[in-house]
Structure 1
Amino acid sequence: MLSQETSAFILILFVDIVLTQCPVGCKLCSGSTCTSCESSFFLSNNLCLPCPENCDSCNSLDDCTLCKPSKFGLQAKCNFTCERNCLNSECQDDTGFCTQCKPGFYGQQCTNNCSVCANERCDLRTCSNGCTNGYYEFTNGVETVCQKCSFNCKQCKDGKTCSICNNGFHLYKLNDSVHCVSCLQESQCSNYCVIRGCNQCQIHDYSLVCADCPEGQTFNGETCGSHTSLCSKECSTKCDSTGICQGECNEGWTGEKCSEQCNSKCLKCSKDNGNSCLLYKETSVSATTTLAETVTQQQKCVRCEDEVNNFTIGFFSGIGSCVAIEVFAVLFYLIRRRYLASKTPQEYKPNDVTRNDSEL
């Protein structure tokens, strides 16, 4: 049986432990007053209160600072779950964007399948090499994804403009959209065009245009018509109501109406400047000829050797002629002196030289 002293000591120790033990959630305390809280608790009025269920840490019931794994939404008590295609169910606490995707998926929340990417290659946020046939790239302001073209469209520029149809279908323009419709005669489908009088259609600047009108006709924006219309036959696409070409001019032509010819050295020139060659004619440049760059019709390219010949001719036909005469006179004088000096003493008379020199 314990002595009275031992019993008193145990009682005092028990009371001290009870009185100094921190409440649940308190990391540090003074008596019953909490000064610091454990994880998943927040301090309020000297007490440590539990955070919302899906918060790992918080400042209050409405202010989570860290979500539990696989959860996000700091401003919503972390009540949202990361997308299932997020690798290891990990996503950003505030946005829910996946930190990595499972293989075969891409996008901010890994909801896009890489099978719609060219060669099925993708990185975290987009297709590496663009979209595969039947899809087009679409940017929603946050990310770029591949979306499906319209029905039976093989290639498209956007959801309303198809450029190439699947086999058995041809392009058809309806209002401001270009779609694919079934061919009535499949054997002629590849060349079929809904533009009246057109042999071959194509997409240009998101519009359906005629790329091949019959001989003597050109595309005026609606149909193939006579060249007597406002649109020049040298316009590669179509013209507006005033005859201004909406696309590029054919090779060799320039001007807003494609009615002027390029500089003679140009095979193809700028639409805005006929002297600015985009492609030179083959005969304009050779290995033995040096061309000066030209931007105006007043400048002219000439062969460098022609310049040398012109200088030589000018030299001898001008000042050079005077110099040549003086040289010949001096040579004649020296030859004559040499000849007189070679005479015998009987034949030589000093005044001959003087006389003959004066005669010169």
Structure 2
Amino acid sequence: MECDSKQPCNILQTCATDENGSTCVQMPQNCKVANEKGLCAKCYPPLFLVNGYCIDCSSRCSECTSEEICTQCQPQYFLNSQKKCQVCVSNCLNCTSANNCTKCINSYILHENKCYIKRRDECDDNKICKTKEFCKLQEWGNECQNCLENCQNCKDATTCELCVDGYYFENGTCTPCQGSCKTCENKNSCSSCDDGMYLSGSKECIKQVCTISNPCTEGQFCEILDTGNLCTKCSASCKTCSTSTTCNSCQDGLELSNSQLCVNNQCSKNLQCQKNYFCQKLETGNLCQACPGNCETCTEANKCSECAENYFLNVSGICAEMVCSATKTCKESEFCSSNTSGNECKVCPENCKSCDSSGECNTCMETFSVNEGRCLNAAVPIGVGAIVGTIAGMLLVVSVLAGLGVYYSIIKKKKVGAPVLEQDNVKLATVPMYAGIGNGGTLVK
């Protein structure tokens, strides 16, 4: 295919010219620009040009003029004086020499031509270092570093603010105190003394002796030794003592036990344990211990004085579960009866649906009603026999009263001399009498 400026070749071809004219030929492999003869004039990096063809550079080169001569290096390499690519310092992206980094890889920070990983600060204003350490501020992350030897607190690696006991700061170092000084301001001035010594007005530590007229200071006791009496320090918990193991009074917050030890009581007369615990007295200090199960309050490990809800204290001093209570009801037609051996469910009276703790009915079964705490059957309608019996009874009463009236009249006439009718001629009114009074009874004359 012929080619010229008006008719260019496709993207993978180049226009080559010879004595026969211009034609489109295949672009050489990895070639960026070809010459008029169709040979490569410039390669894609990191390849280099040899006789019109593109050849690989060294793996460290990004550009080269031959396999051994680089003109530009890959990242993390630098071009040395022999035109070869040499590796940079660790974690360095670009460098000018082996120890002169100019740019670090991601997550690393450049400091004094070296790369440091950026890590979380080990210390800052809110996170302080341990004793005998200081916080060194660094661009790649703060870290705790050791103070000078025998330095308690320091600002940096060369400045001590407080030396450990027995040392003082002088000429950039912590120097030992002299003699029996426990702590000192300088070599000639003690601020506290070792045990058995006392601090004089001249800031010297002198051996302390004791007598009745020259007692020891508070926190010490007079120890009698073969070499002479000596003031000895009490234990740390004692305020005053008579021996190293016998306290007379205690430091604040501690209490004197029966064995004259100063103990840290969890509980006492003035400091009660929380609910469900009791105060157990021990030689090493009173402790709050848990009460037995289901026990609200107790005085000993196995001695309950008050039980939890729905439990009662039995004769053995143990909290046993109640069958029923104010919050644990019985079944229908039963009531909760209280007694010393534990509440129990009892049956309500007959025909009672619910009743109170004394056994009196509150509500009844159907067809029954409450009457003075009992359930009685509803009233039954009056029958015919009852009506007849009632009428018969009333007539009997009337008949008796009528007979008594007649009798009384006859007696009265006899007394006043009035004529009396012959009995044979007198017919007394016959009052009907009822036989078989009641249901189905009949009248008889």
Q: Same fold (TM over 0.5)?
A: no
Structure holding more helix per residue: 1
Higher relative contact order (CA 8 A, sep 6+): 1
Using structure 1 for the length normalisation, give the TM-score: 0.31
Using structure 2 for the length normalisation, give the TM-score: 0.26
Q: Over alpha carbons, which structure has the higher Rg?
A: 2
